[in-house]
Amino acid sequence: MSLTIRCFRPADLETLRRITVEGFDGIAIDQHVEEKFGVQAGRDWRWRKARHVDEDVAANPAGVFVAEEDGKVLGWISTRVDHETKKGRVPNLAVDAAARGRGLGRKLIEHALDYFRREGMAFAVIETMVNNPVGQHLYPSCGFAEVGRQIHYAVKL
């Protein structure tokens, strides 16, 4: 088996949506809002999270990378670059449940960091929820340092 990390292709979209929704179950902000206030505007948190994939692809298609093994998509990472501030950002990272624990998340992050360097970024940021122990372990082990915490609030209108 040969793992490759390649650029996003439009044919990947549905698989990336599925992997993302599965991977963010239990940690997605929109899921927590829905648990507190119910489904909003007739769309559940899964629809909202899947939409993040579409937004990432539209914002920076050249910075969306897919981990693939023997033709099967196993994970992906999205990036944003701000050439004025020299900041690279990782909005989303997800690995298929069947492929977790094999270091794919780390490989995707390393690939994204190399991309940021090629793009001339001076630093990179990534965030995770307090209830995501995988992110809290993985990101520091990839060289990220915690620089702050944020609390999310919501109100039903």
CATH assignment of the domain containing 48: 3.40.630.30
153 assigned to some structural domain: no
Confidence of residue 35 (pLDDT cuts 50, 70, 90): very high
**Residue 63 is assigned to a structural domain of this protein:** yes
Nearest partner of 92 among 130, 53, 40, judged by Cα? 53
How many independent structural domains does the chain possess? 1
The domain in which residue 35 lies consists of: 3-141
Q: Is the residue at 154 inside a domain?
A: no
**Residue ranges with strand state E in the chain:** 3-7, 65-69, 72-77, 80-82, 87-90, 93-95, 123-126
Q: What are the residues facing 65 on neighbouring strands? A: 7, 77
Amino acid at 54: D
87 forms beta bridges with: 82, 123
Average pLDDT over residues 43-57: 97
* Residue 59 maps to a domain: yes
Average pLDDT over residues 85-100: 97
Give the tens place of pLDDT for each residue, 137-148: 999 999 999 999
Is 21 within a domain?
yes
Look at residue 116 and tell me if it is in a domain: yes
**156 Cβ partners below 8 Å, 6+ apart?**
37
pLDDT for 32: 95
Q: Within 13 A of 92's CA, how many CA atoms are on the CB side?
A: 30
Indicate whether 151 belongs to any domain: no
What number is the average pLDDT over the span 93-112? 97
pTM above 0.85, yes or no: yes
Confidence of residue 9 (pLDDT cuts 50, 70, 90): very high
Q: What is the mean pLDDT of residues 113-130?
A: 97
Q: Say if 146 falls within a structural domain.
A: no
Average pLDDT over residues 60-89: 97
Across all residues in the chain, what is the average pLDDT? 96
Dihedral of alpha carbons 5, 25, 60, 139, sign:
negative
Q: Is 45 helix (H, G, I), strand (E, B) or coil?
A: helix
Query: pLDDT grade, residue 38 (50/70/90)?
Result: very high
